[in-house]
């Protein structure tokens, strides 16, 4: 019996259908321009997604990666609050709706969903793609200025993914404050670069100041132990490459790794990870080296050897971003 398609597969199929009829050269040229200019390098008063061709090309190229990164952040939130399910969702700066797809994949069923973005072509395409997802049939796609004038109605969950880099510092603060004032849980996702991490830390600090507690990735709600300018906290999500990905990047691999930084914060009680694996584990002969962020606001390397028995086997299976130790050993 064939397994039912996953939400990620439904999304890829919907995006592939959009590319039918769009000349490959036009798609490649649009993506080349957009990946250079779109995220974090364009003034907010200049629309970068100019028309349907731009939006189709960008969605086909970027939505799968955004979807997987947001799913990873939401999975960490679920691990910290397994009994909580959002009764409503607002996606700020959601564009074509990757985060709404991620939320519907994380918590099955339907709920009120509102996607806010100022680019009408992106909203129109997001609405069109959402027809392939029953959980989003009643979603509202609303044009809204994302910045100081943003107002949000009360909801359970607000996502802000790959948006803050497009805004001025003042507008970033306003958007995070608006999310904090409206939601019981806020998830912010940014590119896994030093700049993206800095924006996440800025958002994290504002959420804590507004009374939120950190659910993930941090094991605590205290200050980040990373000394500014020396390193940055980020994670990786594996993304199946589409033919457009391979065409644009000239690669042959069937996948790529999306690097991202994130924070998930709530107004309700959560159980954060005891520690978090913050680098790719290093597997050596008879031992595994784990770089951990710990609840005492410190970074520490732990060496797990064969003499640790089941814990060693768990360490060999541990991945970048996982909670540590595994739940049964915590």
Q: How far is CA 278 from CA 66, 201, 208, 294, 319, in A?
A: 20, 15, 21, 10, 9
For residue 164, the 8-state DSSP code is G
Range name among 12-16, 135-139, 162-166, 292-296 with the lowest pLDDT average: 12-16
- The reported pLDDT for the residue numbered 39 is 46
- The reported pLDDT for the residue numbered 242 is 66
Q: How far is CA 327 from CA 106, 112, 276, in A?
A: 20, 32, 12
CA pair distance 15, 303, nearest whole angstrom:
44
| Model pLDDT for residues 259-310, shown as the tens digit of each residue | 999 999 999 999 999 999 999 999 999 999 999 999 999 999 999 999 999 9
What's the token pair of residue 183?
């939601």
What's the token pair of residue 37?
């200019």
Asked if residue 232 has pLDDT above 90, the reply is: yes
For residue 293, the 8-state DSSP code is E
What's the token pair of residue 2?
């064939």
Domains of the chain are 7-266 (3.40.50.150), 275-329 (no CATH)
CA pair distance 301, 292, nearest whole angstrom:
6
| Half-sphere exposure of residue 57: CA atoms within 13 angstroms, side-chain side | 24
| Model pLDDT for residues 109-129, shown as the tens digit of each residue | 999 999 999 889 899 999 999
Cα angle for residues 320, 321, 322 (degrees, 5° grid): 95
The average pLDDT across 130-146 equals 93
Exposed/middle/buried for 267, CB within 10 Å: 0-12, 13-18, 19+? middle
Find tokens 């694996």 and name the residue. Answer: 277
For residue 52, name the pLDDT band (cuts at 50, 70, 90). Answer: confident
How many residues are recorded in the chain?
Answer: 330
For residue 138, name the pLDDT band (cuts at 50, 70, 90). Answer: very high
CA dihedral of 211, 217, 220, 224, whole degrees rounded to 10: -90
With contact defined as beta carbons under 8 Å apart, do 187 and 74 qualify?
yes
Upstream peptide bond of 104 is cis (omega within 30 degrees of 0): no
User: For residue 92, what are the contacts with CB-CB under 8 A and spacing of at least 6?
Assistant: 116, 146, 150, 152, 158, 159, 160, 163, 175, 178, 179
For residue 197, name the pLDDT band (cuts at 50, 70, 90). Answer: very high
CA pair distance 267, 259, nearest whole angstrom:
27
- The reported pLDDT for the residue numbered 9 is 82
Find tokens 């997987």 and name the residue. Answer: 68
What's the token pair of residue 327?
């739940």
What's the token pair of residue 270?
């959560």
Cα-atom radius of gyration of the chain, to the nearest Å? 20
């Amino acid at each position: 019996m064939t397994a039912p398609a996953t939400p990620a597969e439904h999304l890829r199929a919907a995006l592939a259908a959009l590319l039918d009829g769009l000349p490959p050269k036009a798609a490649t040229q649009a993506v080349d321009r957009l990946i250079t200019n779109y995220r974090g390098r364009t003034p907010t008063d200049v629309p970068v997604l100019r028309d349907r061709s731009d939006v189709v090309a960008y969605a086909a190229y970027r939505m799968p990666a955004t979807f997987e990164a947001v799913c990873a952040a939401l999975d960490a939130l679920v691990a910290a609050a397994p009994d909580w399910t959002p009764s409503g969702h607002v996606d700020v700066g959601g564009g074509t709706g990757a985060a709404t797809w991620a939320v519907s994949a994380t918590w099955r069923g339907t709920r009120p969903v509102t996607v806010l973005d100022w680019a009408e072509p992106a909203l129109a395409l997001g609405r069109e793609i959402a027809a392939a997802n029953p959980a989003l049939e009643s979603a509202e796609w609303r044009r809204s200025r994302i910045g100081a004038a943003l107002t949000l109605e009360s909801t359970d969950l607000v996502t802000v993914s790959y948006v803050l880099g497009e805004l001025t510092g003042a507008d970033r603060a306003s958007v995070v404050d608006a999310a904090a004032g409206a939601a019981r849980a806020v998830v912010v996702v940014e590119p896994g670069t030093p700049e993206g991490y800095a924006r996440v830390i800025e958002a994290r600090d504002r959420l804590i100041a507004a009374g939120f507690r950190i659910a993930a990735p941090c094991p605590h709600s205290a200050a980040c132990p990373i000394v500014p300018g020396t390193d940055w906290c980020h994670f990786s999500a594996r993304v199946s490459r589409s033919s457009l990905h391979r065409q644009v990047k000239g690669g042959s691999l069937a996948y790529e790794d999306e690097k991202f930084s994130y924070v998930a914060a709530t107004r309700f009680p959560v159980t954060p990870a005891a520690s978090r694996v913050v680098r790719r584990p290093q597997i050596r002969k008879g031992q595994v080296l784990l770089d951990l962020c710990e609840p005492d606001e410190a970074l520490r390397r732990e060496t797990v050897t064969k003499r640790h028995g089941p814990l060693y086997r768990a360490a060999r299976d541990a991945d970048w971003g996982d909670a540590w130790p595994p739940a049964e050993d915590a």
